Structure 1
Amino acid sequence: MIRESDLTPEPQPSQWLRVEIVHELSALARMRSEWDALMDASDAGPFNAWEWIYPWCRRIAPDRRPLVLTARDRTGTLVGLMPLGFELCHVLGRQVGRLSFLGETYVGSDYLDVVAKRGMEEPVTRAFAHGLREMHGGWDVLDLVDLHEDSLTVKVLREAFPDLEVRVTDRYVCPYETFRPGEAFDLFLKRTGRRDNYLRRRKWLEKQEGYRIERTEAPGELAAPMADFFRLHSARWAADGGSQGIQSHEVESFHRDATQFLAERGLLRLYTMKVGGQAVASVYGLIYRDTFIYYQSGYDPEWRNRSVGLVLVGETFKDAIEGGLRHYDFLRGTETYKSDWTSKERRTVAVRIHAFQGAGHWFTRQEELARGARDVVKRLLPEATVERIRRLRRSRSAG
């Protein structure tokens, strides 16, 4: 005999996952071990890691209220999280409640997204989308930036909010390269646009007294190479009004914390080129699974004509290949030197959700008007004047 209970469909995983919200930074601090375990069991990008998100909350946005969605299975194991934060934006005398990714600003966090255990991406993301829908009265605009263009989250959110305005816009191009199986560095060089210059410049540098490249990964050895990195990064951008990547003392403090945490997890790799005992170029990178991630760099402008930056980047490719890594990711940016080393691109996107009327719609409209006004000014002013204004803004931010 078939019982009625036998005909009842098994609940979908997204229905039995327990979704909760972490509001306190102190609670976030205590999540490191299980957050790390979830990252290891997921395909999420490195900038979703606790080692990146937690110091960002402390140093960059201490006033932003964490609102981290967590999903646990029937055993209480963490199988998903969505690191969000809530802020009240004051625009023209009006308050707008904005919900966004933690880590979104000032530090160039690409590939932000839901973190889910492999195989559970869809049920976890749908459970979070359901939770966000239930919370809609508490936020005016859901503003998620720098997701991978193929993110499942984009698809699920479109489906979860059919009655709201869902905007998906392009953000950045991220050049990257995939190494061929068994490919030696010399063979890789032949398919790049920098081979001859790199080899010539490296040969000259290798003849200089005290030339060497130091690689630093250990947590207790970061002080000197990080000091060299900050000095060289600042020097490289000084003539342009300052760096857009490291704009303030708060951002520098963030990186000091983050690099320590990343090194403790074996995810950090710093390269420093020295000539005659003096650091002349630096690369700040991450090792994440089978990928070298080029995050930032710097060099001494007095050594620009010797292409020390070019040579050090080439050495990071050489080290990645010889270390058995499969990919090299330059992250956001379409600078010529990146395309000379790589042949592939991926993109990031932003998702914004709000009602068709109300505070969220008004917030978006004000941004569009401000952007339009800036575009008009750029068209009217000479390019040299626009560039001077940019440099002035960067120098003020750095101050």
Structure 2
Amino acid sequence: MLGTAETLFAVPAPSRLPYRVEALEGRPAFDALRDEWNALVARGPVDLPFVRHEWIAAWLDAFAPDGRLRVLVARDGHGTAAGFAPLLEERARGLVRLAAPANDHSCRVEWALGPDASGAAAALWAHLRDRVRWDVLLLRDLVRDGPTSTLVEALARADRHLAGRWESLRTPYVTLGGDGAEARTSSKFRANLRRRARRLGELGAVALRREDGQGDLDGALGEFFALEAAGWKGEKGTAISGDPRLVAFYTRVARDAAARGALAIRALLLEGRAVAIHLGLVHRGVYYLPKTAYDEELGAVSPGQLLHREVLAECEARGLRELDFLGPDMEWKRDWEPRHRPHDWLYVYRPSLAGRAMHTLKHRVRPVVKEVLAWRR
């Protein structure tokens, strides 16, 4: 049975501290914020690896090296940062769209907010509302009950701006500890795991290899890219190794994680050959799983699930509190009886003629058309 979602963030009540907001443009200005950015994230309610400066920098270098980057910075009267909002400006047909620097590889999006998330978000929104030209603001893959999602929409609606959502993901996760995550799965699934482990063992020696970035990181990444490309992703041309941008992004992410002790590449070996690999991250008591790969020719013995079993056991032995699968809900993830976190694309429109027209087309006309087409099929 699928579980329900738990609140991921706790947002304190807004303070009465006044904040001033400055708009910085370009990569040099963004790069200069690194230490201050990460220190703020560590103090606030959105301490996630995907919100850290180095993750966003890696994304920008890989996917938007020539993008027009604008970073809004909220500071208190002493000049201390309270919040950062990175946005890319896009112009088309006379309209301006501001969007979070994100795509399918970003995992999760939040503004970098400190302890006073409500006050910082209010200041950032006020600057956007009054000082920046735009027609539509798009923040994708926001946790539905997260600070950015709840605060920005509420602020926008209070100022009579139009807003709409599209659900993008229902990301599974499992809590750790107690009687153990595996013990909470069905007896049938546990029996299947035991049977498949025996069958894999009959094929040769089975071992687990851990790479945290202190050994042959390039070799471990190359092994992962090769295994992923050997399956259906390689056939469809969607494997990481087929796109230099993806290779650069995931290599950079792995190296940055290794430098701060957060990398967790785990490989299940059969006779010394990797048959399943996790490209994982450990951050603040949570194991995050951006990417996985397994040998599809061994699908009958589920090497991916067997590796996941070992990783769960390791996470619980380390005292981690959660394993976050990231990405969309999938059948293999459901076997672990997860809970789910809904994510949305949040759109905010100016209350102008153009904004109202876009809101109507996107959030009223389009859903009706999709429903009619689905009914006709």
Normalized against structure 2, the TM-score is what? Answer: 0.85
Distance in 1 (CA, whole Å) between partners of 2:319 and 2:281 is 15
Shift, 1:18, TM fit: 2.8
Distance in 1 (CA, whole Å) between partners of 2:242 and 2:154 is 38
**C-alpha deviations, 1:209-237, integer Å up to 9, x for none?**
44221111126632011111111122222
Distance in 2 (CA, whole Å) between partners of 1:51 and 1:294 is 18
CA 125–210 in structure 1, closer or farther in 2 if over 3 Å, else same: same
Give matches, 1:366-385, under 5 Å: none
Decide whether the 8 Å contact of 2:228 with 2:240 is kept in 1: no
1:53 partner letter:
I
SS of corresponding position for 1:295: strand
Aligned residue for 2:59?
A: 56
CA 173–179 in structure 1, closer or farther in 2 if over 3 Å, else same: same
1:293 partner letter:
Y
Structure 1 residues not aligned, in runs of 5+: 1-11, 382-399
The yes-or-no answer on 1:109 pairing with 2:107 is yes
**C-alpha deviations, 1:137-160, integer Å up to 9, x for none?**
x11111111111112333433443
The yes-or-no answer on 1:348 pairing with 2:343 is yes
Distance in 2 (CA, whole Å) between partners of 1:184 and 1:365 is 48
Shift, 1:352, TM fit: 0.9
Decide whether the 8 Å contact of 1:192 with 1:341 is kept in 2: no
Shift, 1:192, TM fit: 6.9
Distance in 2 (CA, whole Å) between partners of 1:193 and 1:123 is 50
Aligned residue for 1:37?
A: 39
The yes-or-no answer on 1:128 pairing with 2:131 is no
Shift, 1:351, TM fit: 1.6
C-alpha root-mean-square deviation of aligned residues, in Å?
2.9
Distance in 1 (CA, whole Å) between partners of 2:372 and 2:330 is 25
Give matches, 1:155-174, under 5 Å: 155-161=150-156, 162-174=159-171
Match of 1:75 among 62, 74, 78: 78
Shift, 1:365, TM fit: 6.0
Decide whether the 8 Å contact of 1:142 with 1:354 is kept in 2: yes
Aligned residue for 1:322?
A: 317
Between stretches 75-84 and 141-150, larger displacement belongs to 75-84
Aligned residue for 2:9?
A: none
Decide whether the 8 Å contact of 1:15 with 1:127 is kept in 2: no
Between stretches 211-220 and 190-199, larger displacement belongs to 190-199
CA 226–380 in structure 1, closer or farther in 2 if over 3 Å, else same: farther
Distance in 1 (CA, whole Å) between partners of 2:39 and 2:282 is 17
**C-alpha deviations, 1:84-104, integer Å up to 9, x for none?**
22122x3xxx232111112x2
Decide whether the 8 Å contact of 1:232 with 1:298 is kept in 2: yes
Distance in 2 (CA, whole Å) between partners of 1:39 and 1:159 is 22
Give matches, 1:87-236, under 5 Å: 87-88=90-91, 90=92, 94-102=93-101, 104-110=102-108, 112-118=109-115, 120-136=116-132, 138-161=133-156, 162-181=159-178, 183-184=179-180, 187-188=183-184, 194-206=189-201, 208-218=203-213, 221-236=216-231
Decide whether the 8 Å contact of 1:146 with 1:350 is kept in 2: yes
SS of corresponding position for 1:341: coil
**Which one has a bigger Cα radius of gyration?**
1
Decide whether the 8 Å contact of 2:162 with 2:351 is kept in 1: yes
Decide whether the 8 Å contact of 2:45 with 2:117 is kept in 1: no
Give matches, 1:177-326, under 5 Å: 177-181=174-178, 183-184=179-180, 187-188=183-184, 194-206=189-201, 208-218=203-213, 221-238=216-233, 241-243=236-238, 248-326=243-321
Aligned residue for 1:386?
A: none
1:113 partner letter:
E
CA 99–15 in structure 1, closer or farther in 2 if over 3 Å, else same: farther
CA 350–275 in structure 1, closer or farther in 2 if over 3 Å, else same: same
2:110 partner letter:
D
SS of corresponding position for 1:298: strand
Shift, 1:260, TM fit: 0.9
Between stretches 150-159 and 295-304, larger displacement belongs to 150-159
Shift, 1:54, TM fit: 0.4
Normalized against structure 1, the TM-score is what? Answer: 0.81
